[in-house]
Structure formats: structure tokens, C-alpha cells
Chains A and B, each alone.
Chain A
């Protein structure tokens, strides 16, 4: 629990790093525009006149979404690799990486967000009653 003098130096480093970072945020333009972030933060009661903090929130959100997307990409690539192993002739077609609900729900599961997608929509009440007729 005791903070040694070395940690105080570290604190100073952290301080300076943080202040530098906040200054650099002004040059960096996050993908999520400032107006959008301000709008939603104002809706939830967040009140801050400092633009740097708005940018910080925007960057944090961007990081989060990027992480989710990259996880979904990993899933997609893994799935494609598995498919390609079986059918080589379809390699050309499956080169495109498309974000699907499947990959997204898998990656969001790890973040504690449950996004379940309807697997199919039944056209009539009798759909799926006879499993023998369904094509695998």
C-alpha cells in the first residue's frame, strides 16, 4: 500500500505522459465526430466544457469498437480458414471479409453483451416439424 519514492517518480512520468497525451489529442481527429459524442454525453448527463475530454471519450469508444470488430475479424478469418481447408475451389469467392451477425455475436459475448440473432424465420407454423425433410 505504501507508495515508494520511485512510484512518485513514476507518477510524475504518468502525469507528464497524460498531459502530453491530452495535448496530442487536439491534433488527432477521432473517427467518431465530436458533435456526435457531445450529443450522446449530454443526453446522459455528462457535463464538461473541455474538448480534450470529449476527444478522450471518443477515442475510448473507438478503441472499444475496434476491438470488437477485430475480434469478429478473427472469427471470420478462422471460419474461412476452416472452410478453405475443405473446399479449395471456393477460395476465390471467400476472400472477402464480411462482418456477419454470427461473428459479431461471438465476439460481443466476451464483452458481456448478448446479441442473439434469429437463426431462421419460419414461414409457417409447420416449418421444422419434420427434420428428415430438412437439408443439411
Chain B
């Protein structure tokens, strides 16, 4: 049934009300008023009207809302008067009688009668009996918990809602270890390249840098105060350059110290494919068990590097050194095995 040209149909009311509701925040009670407007239109239609004027419909909606609020207020007033907080049937009846008093209802003149036989209620019963049932046209969603617009907005939900967090990272000890080793080898290779470049730059000129390096190593190996040692003259230690690395390596081996050039020497030789310098010829002979101390706080870190280095320096080792190496290798392998069995957590904590 159309509501005439002066008023849109019920569906359009709902849609335009929804359009009004969607942008921005909800104005005070707009949703309730929209729903009431539809209800009023339905009631008028059931009475017999075929069209409405917009202003008339709005006025009647206001009336309905006021009536509901007044009824509630009156009923709660009567309940409080009786010392209750929850209203019951009689509170509603009293409130209704108050309303109807001006209009008049049957048995209004009876005083002191039980409210059960109240005229208003009987009228309502009659009304319900006579009226045909017209349920509400649209499904009404659960009423929104209305927050007045003048209150500050809620913070972001993630600040107060705790949602469960799942640790998506699947830890695989073997893969982690392999990855670790691979990364260390990469770092080591980069370091070697850098050293090689430095050495190249140094050796292209004089052997002074080498001398100074050797001197530094010697000093470190000798455990004497490097600051108290006399500075070397350039070219002074030319002869001793050949000799000192041997001494140094022995000392290094015994003392387990880190020497700068020496560990890179085999790798450098491997990369260069043959020494270009006299000084370097001697270096590949030295195969020391070098202990890399990268100072990352984990024992396991140093081990794969040593293995890698030793593998590289396998060629041309002396028998003397080879034995030591083998022992070292065995030691390393045992250590690694122990690590994987005893400290699996350490591997994952990288």
C-alpha cells in the first residue's frame, strides 16, 4: 500500500534513515526515532490512513516516544513509592490510570477497588482482542548501546582487548645450525676478501706493512707490552720477516692467540692461486690450529669456522701439524655432538 505522493513508502523511510545514520556518529537517539516512525506509520495504516504528511508523522513519532518515556517514569515512580526498584503490573496500571484520568475510562470512579479489575487493563484487553495482529514490518536488530556524542571516543581496540598471540616461528634445530654455519662462513669469506685486499694494497708497495704486522703479531705472541716496544724502522726487519712468522706461529700455537695475517694466509693463497711475494711463500707452510674468537657469547660459533678454515688449509700440511689437526678435528666433532644433544635451546636462540 503506497503512502501517497506526500510521503515515501516505509522501505524508503528505512533506507533514508539508514543513510542518515551511516555518515559520522549517531546523533542522540536517531535510531530509536527512526524505528518509532516506522511503527507509527504501520499503526496509522492499520487505522485506515493512506498517506501522511511528513510533519504530522514526525509529530506523532514524538508523541509515541514521549508516551513511552512518561509511562516508564510513572511506573518507576509508583514502584519507588512502594519501596521497590522493579516495576510490576500494578505500577503500570496506576500509571495508565493517571494518563487516562483526563480522558475517562470505565471504573474510574470506583475508589478502593483492586487494580486487577482496572478499567484501563480491560480496555487494553479489549483492544488486543479486537485489533488484528500487525507485527513490526522490519526485523529490528539489537538496540545499539548508545554512547552520547559529547563523550570522548573509545581508544583503539587493540589497546584494551587482549587477543591470543601464536608464536608462528617453527624452530628446527638442525636447519638453524646449518643456517648459522652458512652465515658464519659467508662472514668469514667477506673478512678474508677484505684482508686480501688490505694485504694486496700493503704488499704492492713495500713490505713495511707486513713487517709492522709481523711485529705486532710478535709483540702479541710475546705477551710484552706493545706500547713499550721500540718502533721499527721501515725496511729494518726485512730479513727477519721470513723467519719471524715461523717463530710466531709456534708461539701462537702454544699460546693459543689470535694472529692477524696467519689464519688468512692459506685462504689468501688459495684465492690468489700462488704467492706473489717472497714473504708469502713461507706462510702457507704454517698450518696452525687457529682458534677464532669472535666474541659473540656462544661457544658453538667458533667451531664451524675452524672446521671451514682447516678444510681450506688441508693442502701442503706438514706431518707434524696434521696430527695436531686431526686431534683438533676430533675434538671439534665431539664438541659439536655434545652441543646438539645437551644444549638444543642454544641453537634456537640465535
Interface residues of A (CB under 8 A from B): 1, 3, 10-11, 14-15, 17-18, 21-22, 24-25, 28-33, 35-50, 53, 56-57, 59-66, 68-70, 73, 76, 96-101, 103-104, 108, 110-113, 115, 117
Interface residues of B (CB under 8 A from A): 4, 6, 32, 35-36, 39-40, 42-44, 46-53, 55-57, 59-60, 63-65, 67-73, 75-76, 85-89, 92, 96, 99, 102-103, 111-114, 116-117, 120-125, 127-128, 131, 133-136, 140-143
Q: Are B76 and A111 neighbours in the complex by a CB distance under 8 Å?
A: no
Complex Cα spacing A25 to B68, Å = 18
Pick from A22, A97, A101, A110: contact of B49, CB below 8 A.
Answer: A97
Question: If the complex has contacts A68-B63, A113-B63, are A48 and B103 also in contact, measured as CB distance less than 8 A?
Answer: no
Q: Mind listing 11 A-B residue pairs with CB under 8 Å?
A: A33-B140, A36-B68, A38-B143, A56-B124, A57-B72, A57-B75, A60-B71, A96-B50, A99-B53, A111-B102, A117-B55
Complex Cα spacing A73 to B44, Å = 9
Complex Cα spacing A98 to B5, Å = 10
Contacts of B63 in A (CB 8 A): 65, 68, 108, 113, 115
Complex Cα spacing A127 to B253, Å = 116
Q: Are A59 and B128 neighbours in the complex by a CB distance under 8 Å?
A: yes
Question: If the complex has contacts A68-B63, A104-B60, are A98 and B71 also in contact, measured as CB distance less than 8 A?
Answer: no
* Central interface residue in A76, A99, A104, A112, by most chain B CB within 10 Å: A99
Which DSSP category, helix, strand, loop or mixed, fits chain B's interface? helix
Question: If the complex has contacts A36-B36, A36-B39, A47-B86, are A31 and B134 also in contact, measured as CB distance less than 8 A?
Answer: yes
Q: Are B55 and A101 neighbours in the complex by a CB distance under 8 Å?
A: yes
Query: A32: nearest residue on chain B (CB-CB)?
Result: B39
Query: B123: nearest residue on chain A (CB-CB)?
Result: A63
Q: Are B116 and A1 neighbours in the complex by a CB distance under 8 Å?
A: no
* Central interface residue in B70, B72, B143, by most chain A CB within 10 Å: B72
Name the distance in Å between A95's Cβ and chain B's nearest Cβ: 9
Name the distance in Å between A105's Cβ and chain B's nearest Cβ: 8
Complex Cα spacing A60 to B74, Å = 14
Contacts of A96 in B (CB 8 A): 4, 50-51
Known: A53-B89, A97-B48, A97-B50. 8 other contacts (CB 8 A): A33-B39, A36-B39, A43-B72, A47-B76, A56-B124, A60-B92, A61-B68, A69-B43
Name the distance in Å between A9's Cβ and chain B's nearest Cβ: 11
